Amino acid sequence: MLAAAVVACAGESSGPPPPAAPGIDYVDGALEPILERGRSVVIEGLGFGATQGGGSVAFAGVGGGEVTAPVASPADWSDQVVRTTVPDGAVSGTLALTTASGQRLTATVHVVPHVVFSPDTLHWDSLGTFPQAPVGVALAAAEIPSGPRLITTLYAAGGAEQISGGLVPDSGVYVARTQAGGLVGPWIRQHDAADFTSRILPAPRAFAAAAVATRYNSRFPGSGLYVIGGIDASGRAQASVFAADVTPDSVVGQLTPIEPLPAPVAGALAVVTRGRIYVIGGTDSAGRPRQNVFVGRIGLAGHIDGWYVQPPLPSPRAYGGVVVRDERAVAFGGVADSVPPGGGLDSGTVRLASSDTAALSLVSGFFTGAWAPGATLLPTGRSQFATLDLRDVVLVVGGRYAGAATNSAETIAATAVGDSLGPFAGPVGPATRSIWFQNGGTLIGPSGITWREADGSRRGLVLGGIDLSTGLRKAGVWGF
């Protein structure tokens, strides 16, 4: 067959195809990324030069002109990948990479300032109510540049209502636009005037994960919403992944099944960064926490370019938290024993204070080695909390823990230490501006999300959950 192919092509070509022209394909895993000053950035493409030589990287600078970005070591420059850091004077505009041979390659980037969030100033405010009183809603945020502004849309999918003592998953999908100062507009249930089922999940899901892909955070030139795993109407975890086209105002396409996970998952620790989706731990269809770690990359057509099985966690973990940094992931808290859907409220369930950590590649996004037990990050075992990653600071909000009955530590905070985390401590913020003080109760199983404004300030909210003291679901939304 090989010989026949050579003969057939002999009249059409006298040699191999010409090499591809040099160019920048992606920056930070995206077509047109939103970058933050002081943060590491990976530029992918072709023809940069095997060594840096006279090559350089520059960003548009404040007041015009350009500001050079540092390339720290020879290992950070290769023919297809360059690693640099967004300089303090960078602004939105053109990123220019000058190759080792002197050719100028460009890409459009959006730059926001780096603003450190101080947990001491945390003030929770009521942001109204969600149309239902759910627990286990999947939340995702899409940041869209619009001139000098960042427009952020929040998507909420599924969740569960508590009926006759059991959790009953829902199929609703809602969209809300954020406003200046951390406020949020009304949550609009998605549907089509001709078919009121076409903009909801094909099957009910709760305790799923959600992600939004855009040209600003992935290789996908469109915009898509993904709902990953979760429990179905029978209370069993599923491997399904549903996806639909979205705009900043609505879900415009039907949510349909795409590439499923390798195994059923609910209550997983899920993170989206640099065009990749990390799904870590979670329970199987029988409610048993697992050690699974999956990584999927959002592809050019919006599908998942395969779910890749990565090194497993050292021990099972579900209904906890995770952060993914440049070259390290840290999972913490949760449960390791079998639990009912959502994790349950039983005070006798053993909850974890421990963490696990593993190194990963900033370029490929895959893990580069096995996970290992990390430091004990939480002051006491804790599960079913919302994790709000504010880059320099990570907040844990609500959840089941030893002091939850008295709401002794509604919100605790950890400071990022390099690519890892320091211990969580708290409570943080004044008690009179807590969620509990605003009739939120002690929330078990709330959902959380964060986003940025154009000035670099960090915003976040938590939604829903069950009030431990009453056992009733809450419809509240609280934010800062």
CA distance 181 to 34: 20
Q: Is 266 helix (H, G, I), strand (E, B) or coil?
A: strand
229: nearest Cα among 177, 275, 315, 290: 290
CA 333 to chain CA centroid, nearest Å: 18
Residue 11 has what pLDDT? 43
CA distance 452 to 434: 22
Residue 194 burial (10 A CB sphere; 0-12, 13-18, 19+): exposed
| β partners of residue 87 | none
- Kindly list the distances between the CA atom of residue 245 and the CA atoms of 199, 242, 302, 336, 341, in Å, as whole numbers in the listed order: 10, 11, 9, 36, 29
- What structural domains and CATH numbers belong to the chain? 23-112 (2.60.40.10), 119-479 (2.120.10.80)
Whether the CB-CB separation of 342 and 160 falls below 8 Å is answered with yes
CA distance 135 to 4: 62
* pTM of the entire predicted model: 0.92
Count CB-CB contacts under 10 A for residue 288: 14
Q: What is the pLDDT along the chain (480 residues), one digit of tens a residue?
A: 323 333 333 344 456 666 678 999 999 999 999 999 999 999 999 999 999 999 999 999 988 899 999 999 999 999 999 999 999 999 999 999 999 999 999 999 999 999 999 999 999 999 999 998 789 999 999 999 998 899 999 999 999 987 776 788 999 999 999 999 999 999 999 985 556 556 789 999 999 999 999 999 999 999 999 999 999 999 999 999 999 999 999 999 889 999 999 999 999 988 889 999 999 999 999 999 999 999 999 999 999 999 999 999 999 999 999 999 999 999 999 999 999 999 988 989 999 999 999 999 999 999 999 999 999 999 999 999 999 999 999 999 999 999 999 999 999 999 999 899 999 999 999 999 999 998 888 999 999 999 999 999 999 999 999 999 888 889 999 999
CA distance 134 to 154: 16
**Pairing verdict, β 458-463 and 476-479:** antiparallel
Residue 21 burial (10 A CB sphere; 0-12, 13-18, 19+): exposed
Q: Which helix (H) or strand (E) holds 394?
A: strand 393-397
